[in-house]
Structure formats: structure tokens, C-alpha cells
Structure 1
Amino acid sequence: MASFSSHAKADEIVPYTIVGDGIPQSLTGSPGDAARGRALVLTRTTTCILCHSGPFPETRFQGDLAPDLAGAGNRWTVSQLRLRLVDASRFNAETIMPSYYRTDGLVRVGRNFAGKPILSASEIEDIVAFLATLRD
């Protein structure tokens, strides 16, 4: 079990605890909004859709470098989804997926993201809520 914490601002990491292969507790203390999560997944600024494809018929040019998001809610628990977004390198040290909620030990970080997470705690929770709805 690992714990991480800091004095939380919008662009800082809030405390969370990794248990096994996931983060069981919400980063915000409440569930995310699946509709906002879907919008975040489909925006090019999060880069999700650049590598992943999914059940998004309205979105052209979906990626094929990473697993299809269809059925993500069947393949992974909410806890596992949360950790995959927070720090995918915990599952595969060679992954090209960004650690969306980590600031330490990173290389090649853009100036806009130096010292702060790519996504906020609420954005992580929104995406987790959406991915959990994707069932076969």
C-alpha cells in the first residue's frame, strides 16, 4: 500500500492511497460525472482519443495504439480505472500513456505541465465515471 499527499490546490495532487492494483477512494470524495467524462475523453486536449478507440461513432480519427475503450467497465473496476489514469506506468513501465495525475519522476514534461498534474482530481473522477459505464 502506498500513500501520496500534498497541500491540495486545483493544480496539485490531493492525497490518495493505492491498494493492490487500484485507488479505491474517489480523489474528490464523490463520484464523477459520466457526461463530463465522456466529453473529456473525446476532446483532443486529454489525448485519450488519439490512442484509444471506442463506441464513439460521431468521432472521426480514433486511435489504434491502445486498448479499445468499449467494455472498459467490464474489464476494470472503478478502483483500477482510477489508478490507470493517475499513473499507468504502475501497470507497464514502458507505457506511452501519460500519468495524468502524477508529477514526480517524469521526463519530457511540457512547460505548461511542469510540477502539476495534466488532469485535475475532478477530471479524473469524471473520466472514471464515464469509463465505468462502457460495458459490452
Structure 2
Amino acid sequence: MTRQPCLAAAVALSLAAPALAETAPKEVHFDAGKVADSLTGVPGDPANGVKVMTTNALGNCVACHTIAALPEVQFPGTIAPALDGAADRWTEAELRGIVSNAKMTFEGSFMPAFYKTEGYIRPGDGFTGKAPEGELPPILTAQQVEDVVAYLLTLKE
């Protein structure tokens, strides 16, 4: 009998709280490279954004970009623009668009599309015959994109 009040409370809470829908990679709306709406409806966490940007298995943004606010990063890349002052150069919508798919803003960019699942060229078929079939998962989750954007918004001159 003690389980019923808990079950009733859980059902009531789930009905009262609006469901947050994550925007799927195919559903992201770019307007001149900008993505105005959050991909998750949840604010990004700048501390997790740093983790994503500095972890090889995640975004690893520091492999190409320098960030003066992160002096402990070993071997920062210098082949892409420094991210210092990013929040002064770009709006939140522009940063979200750039992190999601930089080619929507900078056509010739070599920056990977971190939130994309289709439209890839798969040279593995021509060389090894082992290119993956079907959709590929995005490099970052929608929340990780929001976390990176939240951190970039802290980088002011």
C-alpha cells in the first residue's frame, strides 16, 4: 500500500512537468548559419563544455583552436582561429550553428560537423570496403553542443 502514493506522485509529477524534446540532427533549422533555438531546451553547462572541448573522444576543439583561458591544455592547435573573445564575435545562435555544423556558416571550413548524421562522403568503400552503412551518430549529443556554446559564451575580450 505504501507504493500507491509514490506511484500516484510520480504520475502526477510526470504529467505536470512539460516534456523537453531534443532536436534531432536532421531537424536543426539553420538560418544563414545560425541556430536560434536551443537543441535541448536545457541551459548548457560551461564546465561540461570545457570537458567536451578538451577531451579527445568528444569535441577536442583544442586540437585546432587555442583558448588562453585554458593554459593547462597540452599541445593546443593553431590551425583554426583562437577562441578568445568568441562571445564578442558571435551571438549564441551563431555559435550554436558553428558548433553544430560550421559549413553552414563557413562553406570551406575543415571543422567537423559535430551535430550531423547524414550527407557524409565515405571514402572507406573505395579503399577498404568497410565504410559504415546507414546513418552515423552525431559526434556530440545535443546537450554537449549546448554545453560547448555555454562555455564559448563566457569567452569575452
Residue 64 (structure 2) aligns with? 51
Percent identity of the aligned residues? Answer: 37
Q: What whole-Å deviation, never above 9, does each CA across 1:54-91 have from its counterpart, x for those lacking one?
A: 12111120000101011111111110000001111112
Q: Which has the higher strand share?
A: 1
Q: Structure 1 CA distance, aligned partners of 2:143 and 2:53?
A: 14
* Greater Rg by CA: 2
Kept after mapping to 2: 8 A contact 1:14/1:27 = no
Kept after mapping to 2: 8 A contact 1:13/1:116 = no
Q: Which has the higher helix share?
A: 2
Residue 48 (structure 2) aligns with? 36
How is 1:1-136 mapped onto 2 (pairs within 5 angstroms)?
A: 13=25, 15-45=27-57, 46-55=59-68, 56-108=70-122, 111=132, 115-136=136-157
Structure 1 alignment gaps of length 5 or more: 1-7
TM-score when scaled to structure 2? 0.72
Q: What whole-Å deviation, never above 9, does each CA across 1:31-52 have from its counterpart, x for those lacking one?
A: 1101100111111222311100
Task: Name the count of aligned residue pairs.
Answer: 127
Structure 2 alignment gaps of length 5 or more: 1-20, 124-130
Structure 2 letter corresponding to 1:37: G
Moved over 3 A (4+): 108-111
